[in-house]
């Protein structure tokens, strides 16, 4: 069975994997994402395809047997085509009035596609390929900055507004230096939450690996469905039918399509990966380290569906765990991915059902989704390699359902299927079929693993580690916090935990995608009558521009549009609107604009006023000074302000403690004049105001009695104070971004 070449899933690496990879220090940013297999062999003895017959073709007027006609609506033409082609064929499920799955014995998938496409009754045939998983202020404990070092300490930075922080950075020489990091790609969700917490009538469908029990999700999930094995056949599995054992193994739950979307685990053992006669041979095409294709590589369960569902809709403002982008937005799981991904036919059926479109032999969805999250895919061109997606997404678009899909995790290659699906050339409605999402680093540049191209609609944080060597002492600094299960392979009862910066690292365009899908759900909650085109236009028009420089040294290049079929990778690069979409997602501005369009006019607000006391000051190097913004004036909405302290020029004269409170502790670093900026934000209006004060730092006394004193010969304090350096080392460690190494 042919399988495509790219895994779009970010994975949560287990402790054993992290430890193994963390042993060697490399001068590149450590961003572990598991790509899709690139060396999977195609079976020559069995095939699996999706075929669409021409309208008014002779084969559609040929009656089928009573047995096959009774099993599904739509064509069941395997027996007719078998006689024409001289090969054993079996009917699979019907995907539409003229479209069905078909399997073969004694012929490969690609050979069957060629034979079917040569038949005058066939409009198109495609391989039924596997696709892969890609992986207002609230009181949720993991939301704010200042977490424990491996929580990660940045918390849910990707949901918050832009900010700066001073952290100790370990360079290639192993030395720690206090460095200012500008965290600019956060989606600014709080102004959106000030307008709406979501609506019970706006549901997000999550086509993924299913769901596990988790205290931050159990109350938010609607009754879903498991589609794994749906497309393979209308007959009972395990009776020698081609691909039946493959489907059962992929499902990993002892049965096939059924009303239980629970995730039993998608792990693949080393033995399964190296078994040339099994369904998962060479499935784990590992990237960290660069293992030879087909080597005995084991990968634990990703709990990918639980992760994406938590970004979409984790219980929010409940005093525990994490916040979900959609706040109170309900989520419905449509399981289509299992061990080694899932087949197009199952994925398409899951998407159609999620959007409220009838699927053969499956009960109607009682909670049809307006938004569908698809953090999955693999390489190819939708128009030529996967036209079944075009048909399905066209039907969903015409129904007012919005599909959001991940661009891919293949280091800057072309956007993946289904994210690159576009309207058919014959389609007079040119509203896009998909919102394609690229991934950003915390600094707003393209994260190394993200794919890019003109098909991308918008970009959102995909997570990045910064550190070149992830250990307990030097954790991944900007991962995406997600809900997961503590089980390595099978789910553990009451095992709901969260990803972190050391043992369970979540990165990938998979996790940028639900931030956009959750934002779209909030937009529709504020303005239910928005059209698909209006939603896309608002997302684009409210996006913030990409930064034109990076804080990486040396500067990365500007991103370029990948050539068709190119295998030349692009790691960190400066985004453009032709490669990473219209800009960086701004959820607050998008929901405000949606609400304004719905009501015909936006509320009129006046901005708050930032006030800092004292309005400047001086401090001895190695000592501290506290600044307060508590006397800042609220805006006309009367909403309590949020605070963000930063060092605008990134100088090394001062450093800051926690930067998101009403006050900040300023530490003198070296003699000179530094600046500290306070930005206050009105969460309701999204309006901000800033003020900057100067801090004069004087050198510490060189006498033995100085407050910063210590060291041989009565040397001074400041940046040379060993106790201060130790405190920095314990406080945060390493944050200098590095571009990932290009693949060989």
**Residue corresponding to tokens 């977490």:** 147
Question: Could you write out the DSSP letters of every residue in 648-711?
Answer: TT--SSEEES-SSSSEEEEEE-SSEEEEEEEEEE-TTT--EEEEEEEEEEEPPP-STT-TT--S
Alpha carbon of 589 to those of 370, 391, 446, 543: distances in Å?
21, 33, 22, 8
- Token digits of residue 231: 């497309």
Q: Which helix (H) or strand (E) holds 179?
A: strand 176-183
**Residue corresponding to tokens 């999204």:** 686
Task: State the CB neighbour count (10 A cutoff) for residue 255.
Answer: 12
Q: Which of 345, 354, 506, 510 is catalytic?
A: 510
The burial of 548, by beta-carbon neighbours within 10 Å (0-12 exposed, 13-18 middle, 19 or more buried), is given as: exposed
d(CA 568, CA 560) in angstroms, rounded, equals 11
Q: What are the percentages of helix, strand and coil residues in the chain, rounded to 5?
A: 20, 20, 60
Q: Is 504 a catalytic residue?
A: no
Strands (E), 449-607: 458-461, 483-485, 496-498
Q: Is 5 a catalytic residue?
A: no
Using CA of residue 364, residue 369, residue 370, residue 375, what is the dihedral sign? negative
Q: Which of 304, 345, 506, 623 is catalytic?
A: 304
- Token digits of residue 382: 């939708």
Using CA of residue 473, residue 153, residue 517, residue 679, what is the dihedral sign? negative
> Interior CA angle at 696 toward 693 and 698, to 5°?
165
Alpha carbon of 148 to those of 19, 659, 667, 732: distances in Å?
20, 15, 21, 9
d(CA 165, CA 184) in angstroms, rounded, equals 11
Helices (H) and strands (E) in the chain, counts: 15, 25
Cβ atoms of 326 and 74 closer than 8 Å = no
β 402-406/434-440 pair status = parallel
Q: Is 208 a catalytic residue?
A: yes
- Token digits of residue 479: 């991962």
Cβ atoms of 116 and 51 closer than 8 Å = yes
- Token digits of residue 13: 């690496």
Q: Which of 206, 208, 253, 328 is catalytic?
A: 208
Half-sphere exposure of 209 (CA within 13 A, CB side): 31
As annotated, the active-site residues are 208, 304, 510
């Amino acid at each position: 069975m042919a399988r495509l070449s790219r895994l779009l899933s970010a994975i949560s690496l287990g402790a054993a994997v992290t430890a193994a990879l963390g042993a060697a220090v490399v001068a590149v940013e450590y961003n572990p994402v598991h790509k899709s297999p690139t060396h999977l062999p195609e079976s020559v003895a069995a095939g699996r395809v999706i075929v669409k017959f021409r309208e008014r073709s002779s084969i559609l007027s040929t009656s089928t047997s009573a047995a096959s006609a009774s099993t599904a609506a739509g064509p069941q033409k395997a027996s007719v085509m078998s006689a024409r082609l001289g090969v054993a064929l079996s009917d699979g499920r019907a995907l539409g009035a003229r479209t069905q799955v078909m399997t073969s014995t004694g012929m490969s998938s690609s050979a069957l596609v060629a034979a079917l496409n040569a038949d005058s009754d066939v409009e198109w045939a495609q391989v039924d390929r596997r696709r892969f998983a890609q992986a207002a202020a609230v009181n949720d404990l993991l939301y704010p900055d200042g977490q424990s070092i491996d929580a990660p300490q940045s918390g849910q930075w990707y949901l918050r507004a832009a900010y700066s922080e001073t952290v100790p950075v370990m360079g290639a020489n192993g030395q720690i230096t206090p460095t200012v990091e500008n965290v600019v790609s956060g989606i600014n969700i709080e102004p959106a939450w000030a307008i709406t917490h979501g609506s019970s009538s706006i549901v997000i469908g999550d086509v993924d690996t299913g769901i596990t029990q988790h205290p931050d999700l159990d109350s938010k999930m609607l009754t879903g469905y498991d589609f794994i094995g749906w497309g393979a056949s209308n007959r009972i599995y395990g009776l020698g039918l081609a691909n039946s054992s493959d489907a059962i193994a992929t499902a990993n739950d002892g049965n096939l399509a059924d009303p239980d979307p629970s995730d039993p685990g998608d792990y693949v053992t080393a033995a399964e990966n190296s078994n040339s006669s099994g369904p998962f041979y060479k499935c784990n095409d590992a990237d960290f380290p660069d293992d030879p294709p087909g080597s005995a590589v084991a990968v634990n369960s990703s709990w990918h569906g639980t992760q994406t569902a938590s970004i979409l809709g984790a219980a929010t403002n409940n005093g525990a765990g994490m916040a979900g982008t959609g706040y109170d937005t309900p989520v419905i799981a449509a399981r289509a991915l299992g061990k080694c991904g899932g087949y197009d036919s199952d994925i398409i059926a899951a998407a159609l059902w999620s959007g409220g479109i009838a699927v053969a032999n499956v009960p109607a969805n009682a909670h049809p989704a307006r938004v569908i999250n698809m953090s999955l895919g693999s390489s190819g061109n939708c128009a030529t390699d996967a036209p079944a997606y075009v048909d399905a997404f066209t039907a969903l678009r015409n129904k007012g359902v919005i599909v959001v899909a991940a661009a891919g995790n293949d280091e800057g290659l072309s956007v993946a299927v289904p994210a690159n699906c576009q309207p058919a050339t014959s389609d007079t409605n040119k509203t896009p079929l998909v919102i394609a999402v690229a991934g950003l680093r915390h600094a707003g540049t393209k994260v190394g693993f993200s794919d890019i191209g003109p098909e991308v609609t918008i970009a959102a944080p995909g997570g990045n580690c910064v550190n070149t060597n992830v250990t307990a002492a030097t954790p991944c600094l900007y991962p995406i916090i997600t809900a997961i299960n503590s089980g390595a392979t099978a789910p553990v009862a009451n095992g709901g935990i969260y990803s972190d910066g050391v043992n369970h690292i979540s990165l990938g365009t998979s996790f940028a995608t639900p931030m956009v899908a959750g934002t779209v759900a909030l937009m529709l909650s504020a303005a239910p009558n928005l059209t698909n085109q209006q939603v896309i236009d608002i997302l684009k028009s409210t996006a913030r521009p990409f930064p034109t420089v990076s804080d990486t040294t040396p500067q990365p290049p500007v991103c370029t549009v990948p050539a068709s079929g190119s295998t030349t990778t692009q790691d960190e690069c400066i985004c453009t609107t032709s490669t990473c979409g219209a800009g960086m997602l701004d959820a607050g501005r998008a929901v405000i604009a949606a609400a304004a369009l719905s009501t015909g006019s936006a509320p009129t607000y006046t901005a708050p006023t930032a006030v800092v006391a004292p309005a400047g000051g001086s401090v001895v190097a190695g000592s501290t000074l506290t600044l307060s913004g508590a006397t800042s004036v609220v805006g006309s909405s009367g909403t309590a302000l949020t605070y963000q302290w930063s060092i605008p020029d990134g100088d090394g004269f001062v450093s800051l403690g926690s930067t998101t409170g009403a006050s900040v502790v300023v530490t003198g670093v070296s003699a000179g004049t530094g600046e500290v900026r306070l930005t206050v934000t009105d969460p309701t209006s999204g309006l901000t105001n800033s003020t900057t004060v100067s801090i004069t730092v004087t050198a510490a006394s060189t006498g033995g009695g100085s407050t910063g004193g210590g060291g041989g010969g009565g040397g001074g304090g400041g940046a040379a104070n060993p106790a201060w350096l130790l405190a920095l080392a314990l406080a945060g460690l390493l944050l200098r971004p590095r571009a990932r190494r290009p693949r060989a």
